[in-house]
Structure 1
Amino acid sequence: MKTTGSYLRVFIFSIVGYFLLDNLGSSGDVSVFSEKPLMWVVLAVIILFYIACEACVEAIKNILYATLSDEAKARYDEKQALKEANQFKWIKEKYKQSLGTKPIEEEHEIILDHNYDGIKELDNKLPPWWVYGFYITIIFAVVYLVRFEVYKDYNQDEEYEVAVAEANLAIEEWKKTAKDLVDVNTVELLTEASDLSAGKKIFEVNCVACHKSDGGGGIGPNLTDEHWILGGGIKNVFRTISEGGRAGKGMIPWKTTLKPAEMAQVASYIFEFQGTTPAEPKAAEGEIWVDPDVSN
């Protein structure tokens, strides 16, 4: 059918348009279009409408074509054939030129004497694209030789070291915004109001039952004094939250429930209780912890 190409085009354009709209919706304040089935319906209606219009036009053409005389049909068919022959004519000609072959009617000029069981060989020239590609490789080889062997530009070891250094810088920049990569070795005390607010919400949902809302302690230890059962400091507190308390008793590990960034936030919020006075403080447990980095 002559309109098949048109159907394919409108289908592809519609799908591409949909995903463009979907991405715009995902990246901005607009609702994600993929969450709206109505978008699919609208696109389907557009496609069906376009196909119906194309089919109607084709049907009208066929009806009008049937009313033509044989002579008029012949002229129309000749015109259409000429139109199709001239379509992409420039590309077709350039493609033939790139092959570097002679037309069939001129092949007798380049036929060789080789004959094997009636099969003869043509002395066609190499395709221009192949020849030019070969010249380019020669030029590249000369430039490479002069640059790296004569003028001693960087070698592979130096190139590797530069690439690794650039990659490490990129990783460090990425880590600054990738909070969920934090672990017990890289965690730092968070002081931003947004982080402390998030930590407070996590504490109120998960920790109040054992430590009370003011950190005074209940089932769990008092968080307002300087005594720590498993060590103080952000790293020790983060490890305790992640891995849990003492074996057989104490807090459960939260690493399967909370994300690393969330554990860092709630660990940082816990230090907000230090020096405060809870309503019913539990007796101190553990030992007073002194930061070895500060004491040294």
Structure 2
Amino acid sequence: MKSFASYLRVIAISALVFIAAEYLIDSGDKPAFIEYPMVSVFILLFAIILIGIEIMVGSMNSLADAIMTDEQRKAQEAKKIAAKENAWYKKWSKKLTKAQPIEAEGEIILDHNYDGIRELDNSLPPWWVYGFYITIIFSVIYLAKYHVFGGDNQTEEYEQAMAQAKIEIEEYKKTAKDLIDASTVELLTDAGDLNAGKSIFQTNCVACHMADGGGGIGPNLTDTYWILGGGIKNVFRTISEGGRDGKGMVAWKQTLKPSEVAQVASYVLSMEGTTPANPKDPEGEIWTPEEE
């Protein structure tokens, strides 16, 4: 048992040293013992020293036990028993239960006898009595709040919580740009968003639509004709989900984030009405904002 406790101490202290090293040493995304091998060496040496100390202390205790007289052993055992009897948890147990010791049960045993079964007249445990008093106090407060002073009932509290949650969700959506989809996206007009959309367009779209949007393999993006519908929602959906099956644009949702799709879609719409160098003939149908 003592050896097991020693093993636990060594493991626990070594683990604390390891956690402290991980917390205090800035090792980036990698664990400290990988980024800095000397940390592993230090922890290993520390554990070896701990094991040595435990072995030395255990040996000294064994030696002390070997040279101890019978009287000293008895005195030590008596101290251990007294310490267990006076332990704080036993004192608390007595206070919370008021249980009578077996030796004193004769004083509280009742007279009636049922097939040899006798009953003790124990006091109610204080923890139970205090809990009962707390329920009485709670019931009085509950009655006063909800039936006298008209506090909100569960339905009203639920409705208030849901209303507050909707407000918080809307506030969160304002900063969580990647939660948008084709049904919630809005046209971006900020210069920073349009410049970001232009950069994405020049990296991924010019091969088919040309740098000025005049069209090549893909359609002209500067006129008012659209194959799958214009407007920010339709353009966002087309970029994200792809064009016509078999001959349209590939879906970019696996490559671009929703916020990036919104940026490039807004940039594409900003090109409408510009004059490309070699515009491709219109494709699709004229689209007006009222159709979205």
TM-score normalised by the chain length of structure 2: 0.80
Match of 2:224 in 1: 226
Alignment root-mean-square deviation, CA: 3.5
Shift of 1:18: 5.6
Contact 2:22–2:32 under 8 Å retained in 1: no
Match of 1:212 in 2: 210
Rate the CA distance shift 1:69–1:184 in 2: closer, same or farther, 3 A.
closer
Determine helix, strand or coil for the equivalent of 1:115: strand
Rate the CA distance shift 1:15–1:260 in 2: closer, same or farther, 3 A.
farther
Determine whether 1:124 maps to 2:136.
no
Give deviations 1:43-66, integer Å, cap 9, x for gaps: 852445434432332223323443
Match of 1:55 in 2: 55
Contact 1:10–1:47 under 8 Å retained in 2: yes
Q: Tell me, in whole angstroms, the C-alpha distance in 1 between the residues paired with 2:144 and 2:241.
A: 60
Q: What is the aligned counterpart of 1:32 among 20, 29, 34? A: 29
Contact 2:222–2:272 under 8 Å retained in 1: yes
Give deviations 1:229-274, integer Å, cap 9, x for gaps: 2222211110111232234422133334433233223222323434
Q: Tell me, in whole angstroms, the C-alpha distance in 1 between the residues paired with 2:24 and 2:212.
A: 45
Rate the CA distance shift 1:204–1:100 in 2: closer, same or farther, 3 A.
farther
Q: What is the aligned counterpart of 1:167 among 165, 168, 174? A: 165
Gaps spanning 5+ residues in structure 1: where?
A: none
Match of 1:264 in 2: 262
Match of 1:139 in 2: 137
Contact 1:189–1:264 under 8 Å retained in 2: yes
Match of 1:286 in 2: 284
Match of 1:103 in 2: 101
Determine whether 1:255 maps to 2:253.
yes
Shift of 1:95: 1.8
Q: Tell me, in whole angstroms, the C-alpha distance in 2 between the residues paired with 1:17 and 1:165.
A: 48
Residue correspondences, number: 289
Contact 1:196–1:268 under 8 Å retained in 2: yes
Rate the CA distance shift 1:44–1:199 in 2: closer, same or farther, 3 A.
farther
Gaps spanning 5+ residues in structure 2: where?
A: none
TM-score normalised by the chain length of structure 1: 0.79
Shift of 1:83: 8.0
Q: Tell me, in whole angstroms, the C-alpha distance in 2 between the residues paired with 1:268 and 1:19.
A: 49
Rate the CA distance shift 1:181–1:4 in 2: closer, same or farther, 3 A.
same
